[in-house]
A and B are shown apart, each in its own frame.
Chain A
Amino acid sequence: MNLKPETLRQIDEVITHYPVKRSATLPLLHLIQEDIGYIPAEAVEWVAAKLELQPINVYEVVTFYPMFRQKPIGRRHIKVCRTLSCALMGGYKTCAAFEKEFDTHRGEISPDGEVTIEFVECLASCGTAPVVMIDDDLHEKVDGARAKELSDEIKRQAVGRNKAASSG
């Protein structure tokens, strides 16, 4: 597991926020997932050693909280709110629109590796339903047409990234 120096610095800093090291479990898992995209088995061991815990103490956290994942996902993460206020305004249609755009199903990595689409529970923005998070960004009032626009943008960014990679 190769963490960036900046991640290691943040890890050492965040541990100082708590009188009991174990409290840093969630922050460390967030930092590792942000760095390498998911929580591999070796990260569980690594965090346990870092915080002077047993691996099971970390593993039970990784397996409980919905945001932690033990496998890689697509390059972009599309989280569509499934809960009542969004569903009342068409959240299921929004999700289907994204699935169609990327030829994939919820919970899978799209064939081009670009996205993973998931249903998530209430994102606390019910007044602007349906809402979607793409990576860290919240998008409001995402109907089918807006889902298409956002998908096109993701595809454009992917093309740009591939061009940059091939020319660089």
Chain B
Amino acid sequence: MPAPQQRRIIFQHIDEPGYTPDLACYVRHGGYEILKKAVAMQPAAIIDEVKRSGLRGRGGAGFPCGVKWGLVDRKSGKPIYLVVNADESEPGTFKDRYIMHQDPHQLIEGIMISAWANNVKQAYIYIRGEMPHGARILEKAIAEARAANLVGPKILGTDYGCDIFVHRGAGAYICGEETGLIESLEGKRPYPRIKPPYFPAVLGLYQCPTIVNNVETLCHVKHIVDMGGDNYAKIGTPNNTGTRILCVSGHVRKPGYFEYEVGKITLGELLHEVCGGPLPGRKFKAVIPGGSSAKILKFGETFTLKNKDGSSRTLSVEDIPMDFDTLAACGTMGGSGGVIVMDDSVNMVEALANINAFYAHESCGQCTPCREGSLWMKRISHRMVHDRARPEDGALLKSVADQIAGRTICAFGEACSWPTQSFVLKFGDEFKAYPETRNASKTDGSLELV
């Protein structure tokens, strides 16, 4: 079967020969024409287009962008800030990197349109510290745009102005959580804030109303203004509109990034036809569909979902369309679009131990259940792999995870529990048998994962 066709809107020019990150190239390809269109529109009209587009945030939570903008306190008299979440850190996710490195002006145009729509005078791009080249590319692109009156005071001959500064993180995953990011931008430890009252739309950066949007999300805004919200909403599937970039890594023949209309490609098509299927001699075993905190799917399991008319349908893992709602109905999430594939060479105890080490390292330590729990999950799974495993360890891991989720200030508590909960639920036999299989997996040449 031929691979379904990509629809490249955001990644239209990514990897295109001859396409360079400078302003001249961007303008040659029609760049900043949409910003010109936008500043001729009423800001409220742009917000309305974004609402009608149905755009959902591409950073992880899938929250509707227009609703987020609608929550902004516009009567406080305080400045409104726009903060770009470019702290791409969810394991398995690698899309914003390419936008920022190869097409930075697309992001800047999206920022300026969103800034105009929301009367923002100052925007910050919070880019992860491990992308120093990306930060320099963005700074250069902003300087070019500033020189061309596209960023800065009085853009495009209007009285409106907005500046953009690049702010580098320093290696902490929790800065991707929007209130942690704001704390970090204020020069502090990135301890997430409690909501309420600290909803960024009301009390964000410097206690001012603040919009925090993901890089890919802001790029979509440009295309929504270009084609109109209603036309954009025709792309994809109802309530799951537009395109999204799916990042595939792990055990497939052709990993990479692919842009599809949301919900128009199934997980099976993506992995078999687009990514070339499993490595030679291997079979798919499990897949994490939306970044490492998304609950794992086990090949062979099925999901019975209710249709709108009351009937039901049964889906295999391969049948699941890659949209927010179906993935949620299957007990996992579309998250950040990071698809991590594991084949039958992988022992799930060891894969979980790898993930648990990540979350233990990245817990900010503010809430006791997460700080202690993520560390215990790491220590238990590490002990299973490197020291002594007991048949009841899976249940022990699950009991720790169950005591974290729902008891923390931010969603990291869920993010670090879901892997353990889902691995133990779906691969419980493997955890029980691990005391016997452990030594075999050490000598069969399989890769060390932790």
Contacts and interface: CB of A to CB of B under 8 A. Distances in A.
B354 to A, nearest CB: 5
A158 B232 CA distance: 54
A61 to B, nearest CB: 6
Nearest to A23: B187
A141 B126 CA distance: 27
A85 interface: yes
B171 A65 contact: yes
A126 B93 contact: yes
B112 interface: no
B101 to A, nearest CB: 10
The 5 closest A-B pairs by CB, nearest first: A25-B187, A65-B170, A126-B249, A66-B171, A85-B249
Contact of A30 (B92, B168, B172, B355): B168
How would you classify the secondary structure of chain A's contact residues: helix, strand, loop or mixed?
mixed
Interface residues of B, number: 56
A137 B136 CA distance: 13
Interface in B177-216: 184-190, 206
A14 to B, nearest CB: 8
Interface of A: 17-20, 22-27, 29-30, 51, 57, 60-61, 64-68, 79, 82-85, 87-90, 92-93, 120-129, 133, 136-138
B414 interface: no
B132 A124 contact: no
Given A87-B447, A87-B450, A125 B170 contact: no
Given A126-B92, A126-B338, A127-B257, A121 B362 contact: yes
B448 A126 contact: no
With most chain B CB atoms within 10 A of its CB, the pick from A20, A23, A51 is: A23
Contacts of A90: 447
Nearest to B165: A17
A60 B365 CA distance: 13
B94 interface: yes
A92 B449 contact: yes
A72 B213 CA distance: 36
A39 to B, nearest CB: 11
B90 interface: yes
B250 to A, nearest CB: 5
A66 B172 contact: yes
A122 B188 contact: no
B376 interface: no
With most chain B CB atoms within 10 A of its CB, the pick from A19, A67, A88, A89 is: A88
A64 B351 CA distance: 27
A84 B447 contact: no
Contacts of A85: 91-92, 249-250, 340
Contact of A84 (B167, B188, B189, B358): B358
Contacts of B206: 19-20
A120 B172 CA distance: 11
A122 B130 CA distance: 10
B442 to A, nearest CB: 13
B342 A23 contact: no
A84 B340 CA distance: 8
B222 interface: no
B130 A84 contact: no
Given A126-B94, A127-B256, A127-B257, A26 B247 contact: no
Nearest to A17: B165
A88 B447 contact: yes
Given A66-B170, A127-B247, 15 more contacts: A19-B206, A22-B188, A64-B190, A83-B354, A84-B92, A84-B340, A88-B346, A89-B250, A92-B449, A120-B130, A122-B89, A126-B93, A127-B248, A127-B255, A136-B133
Nearest to B101: A138
Interface in B331-386: 338, 340, 342, 346, 351, 354-355, 357-358, 361-362, 364
B128 interface: yes
A133 B207 CA distance: 36
A85 B251 CA distance: 9
A61 B90 CA distance: 22
15 contacts: A20-B206, A22-B188, A25-B187, A57-B187, A65-B169, A82-B354, A83-B358, A84-B292, A84-B354, A84-B355, A88-B346, A88-B351, A126-B92, A126-B93, A127-B94
